[in-house]
Amino acid sequence: MSKVSGLEAVARDYRPKGVKFYFIYKALAHPSYQGYVAPYTLEERLAHAREARRRLGTSIPWLVDAMDNRLKHALGDAPNSEFVFNPEGKLARVRQWSNPQALRKDLEELVGPVEKITRPEDLKLPRPAPPQAAKRGVVPRLEVPRGMQPLKVEPQLAASAEPFYMKLRAEAEPELLRSGRGRLYLGFYPDPIYGVHWNNLTPPPQIVLEAPKGMKLSPTRLQGPKVKEPADIDPREFLVEVQKAPRGKAPLRVKISYFACNDQAGWCKRLEQEYLVYLQRDADGGRRLGTRGGPLAGRGPGPRGPFGPPRAMFRNAIRGVVLQVDLKQRRLQLRSPGGVRTVEVATDARIVKNGRPAELKDIRRGDRVLALPRPEQSGKDDSPAEGQNIPRVIRLRARSAPGR
């Protein structure tokens, strides 16, 4: 949120000077973060952009990439890049990671300074919570192997009269993609833009897997858990063992039968829908947060654009054990290999603890953390004795202290 506020402040100062600002909606870098899942249609992407504008409270207009992600590829596949074009349409500035302060300096050089600078805190942008149709955290999450790779999924849209309220996320172990043997992850996630939840008063979801010729897997029939809570929005997750997969491009057919409800609209429906899953890595599939196997488990190799692979961002990550948590200033004091360090956690930082989305208040003394500062701050001296140049963290992974 702090980055959005910073960009909004820059936009309000430089719009009167003729500068135009846009957010670009691309493929989700972290599907399932805060419940949002990758859309299947352009209409769903447009709905995501409207939801983002509502959540962020910004006046900056949104541009939405096509479903083939052509703009994302043309811009280099970086996760949070920033571009400045001159009036002739030529690239004047580019950076891998958006930085409102650096952008303001760019515009001061290219356009000129403003008389009065708008501060992000002056905007008081709203912070509405994500939509939640039912309880979350009811069904335990599945522990998945390290390094799972996103797979291409094709929902059979023409065969369904209803939207796909539950989005399928498919992933494979690297060994499965190399040798045709390994584990396959299938996760069905309620899409929050439809306001739906699982109906646990009815039989649990039933999934049938129809393998192409030459593929052997087990099991071929899956059933969701029986849940005491009448409704929830947790994913239904499964691991399937693939003993043999042909090298051809024939897909695995996944059929699901489930009951979904929208309390606000006042309906509950039984649906049968199908997906095709290809044992091919989806370069636009992103990476789910909270995968098992360590603070960076499941990241896998990212798409390589002109900025290099996304994993390079983690080279300057700060590791340590939490000594103190200051919620008011959003600061953590850490005991790290290089000594005691202090970091500030951005208000829009992505925080995960024990493999689940979390907030700063969930971090405790003794927790082991990995903190990723903004790229432009990496390597700076952040000695708490000097009280200056404290890195601002944009991602935080934490594990509870042993015994807790």
Per-residue pLDDT reduced to its tens digit, 43-97: 999 999 999 898 888 899 999 999 999 998 888 887 788 999 999 999 999 887 8
Mean pLDDT of the chain: 86
The verdict on domain 310-399 having CATH code 3.40.800.10 is: no
- Lookup result for tokens 């702090």: 2
The CATH code for residues 2-123 is: 3.40.30
Residue type, 17: K
Average pLDDT over residues 115-122: 90
Tell me how far apart the alpha carbons of residues 26 and 305 are, in angstroms, rounded to a whole number: 15
115 CB neighbour count, 10 Å cutoff: 5
228 CB neighbour count, 10 Å cutoff: 6
- Same CATH topology for 2-123 and 310-399: the answer is no
pLDDT for residue 294 is more than 80: no
For helices 100-110 and 2-14, the axis angle rounded to 10 degrees is: 20
Average pLDDT over residues 295-321: 49
Tell which residue, 205, 141, 145, has the closest CA to residue 171: 145
Confidence of residue 314 (pLDDT cuts 50, 70, 90): low
Q: Tell me, which fold does domain 149-281 have in CATH?
A: Immunoglobulin-like (2.60.40)
Are the CB atoms for 327 and 360 separated by under 8 Å?
Answer: yes
Residue 375 has what pLDDT? 62
Tell which residue, 283, 208, 285, 320, has the closest CA to residue 253: 208
Domain ranges of the chain: 2-123, 149-281, 310-399
What's the CA angle centered on 292, arms 403 and 4, to 5 degrees?
100
